[in-house]
Amino acid sequence: MQETSSVNSPGASDIYSERVLVLDFGSQYAQLIARRVREQHVYCEIVRHDITAERVAELAPKGIILSGGPSSVYEPDAPKCDPGIFDLDIPVLGICYGMQLMCDRFGGSVRNASAREYGHAHIKITDPTDLLAGLPDETDVWMSHGDQVEQISGLFRPLASTRTCPVAAMRHVDRKQFGIQFHPEVTHTPLGSQILRNFVISICGCEGTWKLGDFARETIARIREEVGTSRVICGLSGGVDSSVVAALLYRAIGDQLSCILVDNGLLRKDEEAAVIAEFSSHFKTDLHVVNARERFLKKLEGISDPQEKRKRIGYEFIECFKEEAAKIEDAKFLAQGTLYPDVIESGAAVDGPAAVIKLHHNVGGLPAELGFDLVEPLRDLFKDEVRKLGIELGLPEDIVWRHPFPGPGLAVRCLGEVTEEKLAVLREADAIVVNEIKSAGLYRQTSQTFAVLLPVQSVGVMGDARTYDNAVCVRCVDTDDFMTATWSDLPYEVLARISTRIINEVKGVNRVCYDISTKPPATIEWE
């Protein structure tokens, strides 16, 4: 199977003509930095920390950002960047570890701080120009460091300080090279976007060419050129990624698009009907619906291990997809909803970090023996950009803003063995949770909301009779990036309505709990 690659050569397109590179030193915020830069309408991509200066020069970025990271620069095996990068006459911004790296490179000193700073801090700005232009004399920032700059060389001058950190920001006296000890990319630094804007727009000279409307037009033109008169197959799940891919393809090639929806019996309530209605009436695509409920449930009989569930569901999905795809004549291409975080975390980016965080289901997820060339029109986009693109393409808001749904479906929210009876209970409970969150006007304010059917039963009393029925747990989280998440502080009256409705309306449930675990240490899904 052949993959279509991201645009990795400078000048390939106007929207990519301005780019900023983030050198990743293992920061949990690397993707967030890139997203914040893109909010300034400047294309930003994450590359490995040891990328060569020669390769950087080839990519011709307008600016370079050195990310934070968990290491200490004075350790023997601490990750370092190619020192030649500082001699490329390209503006550089070092964040936290990145700042310490710059300081170490130019003869300053970094030490383990006696007073570490984690969380909110208050900085005093002594030089409100360039990087810190437009900021008040004092402002709040978010710190997360155990090391700090002890002394800077004569090549740098300080720009700001905190009570315990004498150099909270600095700049090179001759070059456009800056360092900040705090994190401007997180929302806990209220004026962080202004700082990044100062760097990207004012210092790097970017004009803001990265616009999703232009991305849509250029991607549509590229798909038409690549596909020609061939047919493209797109797998639908009802989620935002596959829906946006299908909408983009439909704009590009019209009736050359064939969509396949595999009903594995693990979908949410009325999900199959909603997808069929949307993609057979609104888009009028060639839609193939595979009813595979029985074969999936058969494969899951007696299986309670979460990983084994996922493996069996994944394998059976591929078999179903292969069988249906073989019925579609002249199909040469397969479209997938691969996103930029998928590419980064799977190690599939050409210049990206080498470490594989996860074997993602979207990146090369379908086997090569399917015999299709791969089309991945979203592989340069973050999730929030995909949603905005969906709006640009005219998709309904209820699809664009739909909460994420796991690939294995309700199987990983039905703990223990999966049966038709248990799925029916879970499906009804989940629909009530989502309905009440929407009715309260909280659906867009929360990031993911669902019900989990627990593998336990408890004693209850209903109508003066003793019951011994199922327990349902409600999970609702808030997150910017799904790498970390906090549980949603839902109003008590909303939780009360959810609990009352589930117990009264879903036969077989007599207890409802609310999950107040953060990620980490918990995950968002239960399995």
End position of a domain, from candidates 144, 175, 203:
203
Catalytic, out of 41, 49, 145, 183:
183
Asked whether residue 375 is marked as a ligand-binding residue, the answer is no
d(CA 463, CA 336): 51
Expressed as residue numbers, the domain containing 25 is: 19-203
96 classed as catalytic: yes
CA distance 443 to 297: 31
Given a contact cutoff of 8 angstroms between Cβ atoms, the answer to whether 447 and 482 are in contact is yes
Q: Is 403 a catalytic residue?
A: no
Mark whether 369 is an active-site residue: no
Instruction: Please tell me whether 69 is known to bind a ligand.
Output: no
Residue 243 marked ligand-binding: yes
Residue 285 placed within a domain: yes
Query: Within 10 Å of residue 484's Cβ, how many Cβ atoms?
Result: 15
From 203, 238, 272, give the residue that closes a domain.
203
CATH code of the domain in which 467 resides: 3.30.300.10
Q: Which two tokens stand for residue 228?
A: 């020609």
User: pLDDT at residue 447 above 70?
Assistant: yes
3-class secondary structure, 149: strand
Residue 240 annotated in ligand binding: yes
Q: What is the pLDDT of residue 346?
A: 64
Q: One of 96, 204, 414, 473 is an active-site residue; which one?
A: 96
Answer yes or no: is 28 within a domain.
yes
Tell me if 241 is assigned to a ligand binding site: yes
pLDDT in tens, 200-211: 999 999 999 999
| Residues 297 and 396 occupy one common structural domain | yes
Q: What is the CATH number of the domain that holds 158?
A: 3.40.50.880
pLDDT at 172 over 70: yes
The answer to the question of whether 213 is labelled as a binding residue is no
Domain count, the chain: 3
pLDDT at 5: 39
pLDDT score recorded for residue 316: 93
* Inside any domain, residue 222: yes
- Rounded CA gap, 146 and 143, in Å? 10
> Is residue 379 included in any domain, yes or no?
yes
Does some domain include residue 438? yes
Q: What is the Cα–Cα distance from 383 to 445, expressed in whole angstroms? A: 16
For residue 389, the Cα-to-chain-centroid distance in whole angstroms is: 15
For residue 294, the model assigns a pLDDT of 95
280 marked ligand binding residue: no
Query: Is the Cβ–Cβ distance between 374 and 334 less than 8 Å?
Result: yes
Please state the separation of Cα 323 from the chain's center in Å. Answer: 31
> Which residue among the candidates 18, 45, 185, 376 is catalytic per the annotation?
185
408 and 309 Cβ atoms separated by less than 8 Å: yes
Whether the per-residue pLDDT at 11 is higher than 80: the answer is no
In contact, 451 and 269? CB cutoff 8 Å: no
Q: What angle do CA 41, 43, 45 make, to 5 degrees?
A: 145
The model's pTM is 0.81
Same domain, 30 and 175: yes
pLDDT in tens, 13-60: 588 989 999 999 988 889 899 999 999 999 999 999 999 999 999 999
Are 323 and 196 contained in the same domain? no
CB 252 within 8 A of CB 216: no
